[in-house]
Amino acid sequence: MTDTVPQYLPGAHTAMSRDEALAIVDRLVSHLRNETTDMAPEQLEIPISDYLDEDLWEREVKEIFHQIPLPVCTSAELAGVGDYKAMRVVGREIVLVRGKDGQMNAMLNVCRHRAMKLVTGGCGNARRFSCSYHAWTYDTDGRLIGVPGEDTFGPVDPDDYSLVRLPCEERAGIIFVGLTAGRPLELDTWLGDALPYLEALELDKCTHFMTKELAGPNWKVTLDGYLEGYHFGALHPNTVALTNHTNRMTHDRFGPHVRNVFALKSLDAMMDRPRDEWDPAAAMGLVYWVFPGMSIAGGWRERTVISIILPGDSWGESMTWQATLLRTPPTTAEEIAEAQKTAEWFFAAFRDEDYTAQTDVQNGLPSLADKHMIIGRNEIAVQHAHESVRRLLAGESVLGPR
């Protein structure tokens, strides 16, 4: 894959003040010169049974994923009135649709007559949804607007038999959904100090290029790989390691959410130039992680790759939706080809390298079921994610500075 590494096109967008960005570059330069990285105070041991315990997995689903705001899609994917996306999210069939008022609606994708799946999976545009079983019909707000043969079926009150609405809000170009009907999202509180940084990325002004789906192993096995750069050189010698230094990153946290910045190899030459000539976007592999499962990579560049990772229907399954957003709509064949190369490169690296390795990890876990996993000091964001899971299951707050 060496000859298909996409161009970074740095400097397209800066999502913080130059002084703040340069302060992060200073930290990366220090790490490169001293062969260090941001680290936790000590290693973390996690019982491997925590990965294998299906009862614990069910608790994680019910007490975390069915309770907190989940990032499920980007606003750019559903930009127009009537645009919709049907998804299966952590055991729930849902449909997202932009209503006539421009607001995003989220409903259970289940007809209220016989619990038939209402909208087939994928994206489209519609003014109404009609069930393929008995043709009960709903508008984009989920209200029941048609019952065929109601004179023989009997009266149906739309107030009682409209689609079940789920809490849904947009922030920073991201669509968040709560999987428990009637439970307030309290989204601004949940995002906390991360929100201004996410808003500054201006994802809501981007153009959606494509989204791909990728099935993976257990959700915690999967997320571990997203949160550290310790594996770059060993697992990605011909892809990520060509552009990123291994085991050189800064880490900042905002409640359960984090910002990891990996040192790009372009920093090597840059740090020998005067500091006022530095271009932070050209030196930093910026990744925001929105808990529990959203990676925003390349947010300062022309092309941004967003991965949403959520549990599947069973302990050993997860599902990833990977979207490529562009700051400028491609207008030439060359621009389209370069955007396509970026999307395919990222997807192939995750599919063929990360997810293949993580599947092997999952297959190996039962052989060490009575042992523990050791998470290194240099895997600080992995530690933080597991600690956030632990705190939530214990009924503790994960909000605010930590």
Residues 219 and 137 in one domain: no
Whether 284 contacts 299, CB under 8 Å? no
**CB neighbours of 61 closer than 8 A, spacing ≥ 6?**
90, 91, 311
Which of 114, 26, 47, 126 lies closest to 86, judged by CA? 126
User: Based on the structure, what is the number of domains in the chain?
Assistant: 2
Residues 162 and 84 in one domain: yes
Give a yes or no: residue 247 inside a domain. yes
Residues 55 and 75 in one domain: no
Helix (H, G, I), strand (E, B) or coil at 307: strand
Residue 115: predicted pLDDT:
96
Q: What is the β-pairing status of strands 165-166 and 318-326?
A: unpaired
Whether 279 contacts 265, CB under 8 Å? no
pLDDT at residue 1 tops 60: no
Residues 196 and 177 in one domain: no
Of the candidates 185, 204, 228, which is a domain's last residue? Answer: 185
Beta-bridge partner residues of 261: 250, 286
pLDDT at residue 11 tops 80: no
Local structure of residue 41 (DSSP, 8 states): S
Give a yes or no: residue 399 inside a domain. no
2 — pLDDT class (breaks 50, 70, 90): very low
| The model scores a pTM over 0.85 | yes
Residue range 4-33: mean pLDDT, rounded: 76
Query: Tokens 């552009």 identify what position?
Result: 243
Residues 149 and 46 in one domain: no
Helix (H, G, I), strand (E, B) or coil at 381: helix
Residues 181 and 198 in one domain: no
> Burial, 305: exposed, middle or buried (Cβ in 10 Å; 0-12, 13-18, 19+)?
buried
Which of 330, 331, 359 lies closest to 342, judged by CA? 330
Give a yes or no: residue 48 inside a domain. yes
Residues 123 and 202 in one domain: no
Residues 88 and 112 in one domain: yes
Conformational region of residue 228, where left means phi above 0, alpha means psi within -120 to 50, and beta covers everything else: beta
Domain coverage including residue 145: 70-185
DSSP assignments along 129-182, one per residue: EE-TTT--EEETT--EEE-TTHHHH----HHHHSPPEE-EEEETTEEEE-SSTT
Tens-digit pLDDT profile for residues 356-376: 999 999 999 999 999 999 999
Residues 259 and 375 in one domain: yes
Residue 12: predicted pLDDT:
45
Beta-bridge partner residues of 215: 319
49 — pLDDT class (breaks 50, 70, 90): very high
- Compute the distance between CA of residue 287 and CA of residue 306 in angstroms, rounded to an integer: 9
Residue type, 266: S
Domain CATH code at residue 115: 2.102.10.10
- Compute the distance between CA of residue 298 and CA of residue 169 in angstroms, rounded to an integer: 24
Give a yes or no: residue 118 inside a domain. yes
Residues 197 and 57 in one domain: yes
Local structure of residue 216 (DSSP, 8 states): E
Whether 114 contacts 106, CB under 8 Å? no
**Residue 253: both structure tokens together:** 């946290």
Which of 249, 244, 297, 289 lies closest to 25, judged by CA? 249
Q: CB neighbours (10 Å) of residue 337? A: 11
Give a yes or no: residue 136 inside a domain. yes
Residue 4: predicted pLDDT:
57
Domain CATH code at residue 365: 3.90.380.10
pLDDT at residue 320 tops 50: yes
345 — pLDDT class (breaks 50, 70, 90): confident
Residues 149 and 289 in one domain: no
Give a yes or no: residue 11 inside a domain. yes
Whether 349 contacts 5, CB under 8 Å? no
Which string of b and e fits 30-50 if b means at least 16 CB within 10 Å? ebbeeeebbebeeebebebeb
Of the candidates 169, 185, 201, which is a domain's last residue? Answer: 185
**Residue 24: both structure tokens together:** 């992060």
Give a yes or no: residue 10 inside a domain. yes
DSSP assignments along 170-209, one per residue: EETTEEEE-SSTT----HHHHHTTHHHHHHHT-GGGSEEE
Of the candidates 185, 208, 243, which is a domain's last residue? Answer: 185
- Compute the distance between CA of residue 114 and CA of residue 128 in angstroms, rounded to an integer: 18
Residues 26 and 57 in one domain: yes
Sheet strands (E) in 196-300:
207-216, 244-254, 257-264, 284-290, 294-297
Give a yes or no: residue 237 inside a domain. yes
Tens-digit pLDDT profile for residues 65-103: 999 999 999 999 999 999 999 999 999 999 999 999 999
